[in-house]
Amino acid sequence: MVRLECPRCGALYEDGRLFTGCPRCRAEHVPVNLAVKVDVARLAHLATEGFPATPRGLWRFRALLPVAGERPVTLGEGATPLIHLERVGRRLGLPRLYAKDESQNPTWSYKDRLCAVAVTHAVETGARVVTIASTGNHGASTAAYAARAGLPCVIFTLASVPATMKTLMQAYGAAVVACPTPEARWALMRQGIERLGWYPTGGFQAPPVGSNPYGIEGYKTLACEIAEDLGWRAPDLVVVPSAYSDGLWGIWKGMRELRALGLVADVPRMVAAEPYGPLAAALERALETPAPVRGEGSIAFSIATRYGTWQGLAALRESRGLGVQVTDEGIFEAQRALAREEGVFVEPSSAAALTAVMQLVARKAVDPEQTIVLVLTSSGLKDPGASRAWLPEVPAAGDDFDALLGVLRERYGLELHG
């Protein structure tokens, strides 16, 4: 029997569809998501036996996941590469800078880890419809895994979302509807859940508590893969683009469990990269839970939220980590650097992880000898229009080769004479 536990008050709840956080803490006006309680003693054999070699990807680590997993809903997610960012790292004075490239998941984002587990749980608990309110990645992933499971999917989005994202969500067969505000999306989604028993893969209330607690467990596999790729050593810092901190919390929870099992000796400090900075502000003000902050638009729209979550703040506090508020200018600089210096094209929200590190380097807040892992959450092809801000117009070339060399020199700074 899977049990849910409140990480704040310790209350335990039997396995069930509890998607609105801890009732006891909510009565105290503190919104806190529930988390799956893992029996570490039951998993003690992993300390000596390790994880199986197959199947490849996320489901290698099914012992840590809250589903039976006998017939998982899978598209081959996980097992993404850990890339040594040698050129960017050399320029920043960080020889041990790495990127976990989650854009190589089936729907090109790390949401596939959450949705693989959440939709598997939906199937195992008899769900008939899956739903989500999303501006893109979470919606596309939910739609894909619902299609894989043979379940209808209803997605609530915003009219302002890029056309690429809407196309992705609809392409997988989801019923996508646009709402005027985030709150309007959540209100309709809640009615589907309460009146018709729809199964949510994400949150649907304000103030937010975060996503489906079963799905969040999927992010623990990121911790497993990162540690394994580093020789079963935890990095010094893990930097995660954060909105409601599902990934931040899931990775931190995974690292804690690996340490409890004796698979790693230490845990990393967690760093949240955020456009509006609710977690950074909460740390600075020593708040128990993040308060809403001001926000006036960001190119990193998928993580641009005025609200933080209790568990995101807890991950930073428990790990002695920090929140870093990032700027659009810094995000474009990081996105360009990753693409042109390392060959990794990520969306602006993903690039925020490198932006945070660049800001920490400028503040001399990073030890050059530390091992740092950036979680690059999604592909730049999800929002190619955003990159036009730093890309030139494509020049025309005629049939004269010498004229071409002139164009390459003038427009791209390339001197290519023999």
**Ordered DSSP codes for 220-265:** HHHHHHHHHHTTS---SEEEEE-SS-HHHHHHHHHHHHHHHTTS-S
Indicate if the pLDDT at residue 1 is higher than 80. Answer: no
Cα–Cα distance between 302 and 247 in angstroms, integer? 13
Look at residue 358 in the predicted model and tell me its pLDDT: 99
Q: Whole-angstrom Cα distance, residue 295 to residue 163?
A: 23
Mean pLDDT of 18-40: 96
Q: Residue 199: pLDDT band by 50, 70, 90 thresholds? A: very high
Contacts of residue 336, Cβ cutoff 8 Å, sequence gap at least 6 = 390
Q: Which two tokens stand for residue 158?
A: 């915003």
Q: How confident is the model at residue 222 (pLDDT cuts 50, 70, 90)?
A: very high
Q: In degrees to the nearest 10, what's the CA dihedral of 145, 147, 149, 150?
A: 160
Catalogue the E-assigned strands of 315-395.
Answer: 322-325, 372-376
Non-local (6+) Cβ contacts of 147 within 8 A are: 153, 172, 173, 174
Q: What angle do CA 354, 358, 361 make, to 5 degrees?
A: 135
% of the chain surpassing 70 pLDDT: 100
Question: Residue 114 — φ and ψ, nearest 5°?
Answer: -65, -50
Cis peptide before 81 (omega within 30 of 0): no
Rounded CA separation 83/106 (Å): 18
- Asked whether the predicted pLDDT for residue 417 surpasses 80, the reply is no
Determine the average pLDDT of the residues in 49-74.
94
Provide mean pLDDT across the span 202-228. 97
Confidence check: pLDDT of 17 > 90: no
Predicted confidence band at 70 (pLDDT cuts at 50, 70, 90)? confident
In the predicted model, what is the mean pLDDT of residues 105-110?
98
Predicted confidence (pLDDT) per residue in 316-330, tens digit: 999 999 999 999 999
User: pLDDT per residue over 120-156, tens digit each?
Assistant: 999 999 999 999 999 889 999 999 999 999 999 999 9
Q: Residue 8: pLDDT above 90? A: yes
> 257-279, pLDDT tens digit by residue?
999 999 999 999 999 999 999 99
State residue 236's pLDDT score: 99
Does the pLDDT value for residue 418 go beyond 70?
A: no
The pLDDT of residue 170: 97
At residue 160, the pLDDT reads: 87
Domains and CATH numbers, the chain: 82-108+215-382 (3.40.50.1100), 109-211 (3.40.50.1100)
**In 3-state terms, what secondary structure has residue 68?**
coil
pLDDT > 90: percent of the chain: 89
